[in-house]
Amino acid sequence: MQCNLNRICVDESHSCHRIQIFSLAAVRPFVVAVVVLVAASLQMQWSWTENIPNAKDADARHSGESLRIIMRTRRIWLLGAIQSLFESAMYIFVFLWTPTLDEQEHPSQAQEHPPLGIIFASFMLAIMLGSALFRRALGRGWVVTRFLRQSLGVGAIALTVACVSSSVSLLLTAFVVYEVSCGMYFPALGTLRSELVPAAHRAAILVRPPPPPPPCCSLLR
């Protein structure tokens, strides 16, 4: 399913890039995104059959059992901390990759922008590659925790290279590698979460704590 979502993102990115070129309006891709979002919401409303809450999920006793599982399972807390910290870095990346590329490619604040639609499509392909690497590693008997450590390490190295790079090509390469690490991270984290959280309590247990303030602070620069 993740691969299908990424394929849709790639197609939409190419479409939005063409619309931006021919209409000469940078906001048109966002209008297209709103239309796609509304269509997807309607389809989910009519046909979605997964993760539908039932009366048991809202029961106070069931919620109390879920809370006790969280409190006595240290690995759930650690998994939540990993998810919060990694996704905080990911949100900062989402906020800042566009202005960073603009500043590197056009330091004089020129009106032209790099092909953002094509770049975003490349990011989605990189996530698909990371997910494919996870499936290949799992098929070869890799331990999920080892693969998760590898994805975190790759992401840290890619962002470090991006911080010290002054080359647009190297910066873009580091961004693509970071997106590969995101594609590796999400299925590994989901697999660990399914192993740690009992199936009967997954709808009531939110593993991820709120992200720390850095993503919001990054918007103040």
Chunked mean pLDDT (size 10), the chain, 221 residues: 52 54 54 79 80 54 68 79 87 87 65 74 90 92 91 95 88 94 92 78 60 64 57
Evaluate whether residue 67 is within a structural domain: yes
Evaluate whether residue 1 is within a structural domain: no
User: How confident is the model at residue 78, as a pLDDT?
Assistant: 84
pTM of this prediction?
A: 0.73
Evaluate whether residue 23 is within a structural domain: no
Whole domain around residue 150: which residue ranges?
60-220
User: How confident is the model at residue 117, as a pLDDT?
Assistant: 75
User: How confident is the model at residue 24, as a pLDDT?
Assistant: 46
User: How confident is the model at residue 69, as a pLDDT?
Assistant: 73
Evaluate whether residue 21 is within a structural domain: no
User: How confident is the model at residue 199, as a pLDDT?
Assistant: 67
User: How confident is the model at residue 184, as a pLDDT?
Assistant: 94
Burial class (CB in 10 A: 0-12, 13-18, 19+), 153: exposed
Evaluate whether residue 92 is within a structural domain: yes
User: How confident is the model at residue 156, as a pLDDT?
Assistant: 95
**What DSSP state is assigned to residue 141?**
T
What is the sign, positive or negative, of the torsion defined by CA atoms of 30, 31, 34, 39?
Answer: negative
Evaluate whether residue 29 is within a structural domain: no
User: How confident is the model at residue 88, as a pLDDT?
Assistant: 87
Evaluate whether residue 207 is within a structural domain: yes
Domain count, the chain: 1
- Half-sphere exposure of residue 73: CA atoms within 13 angstroms, side-chain side: 17
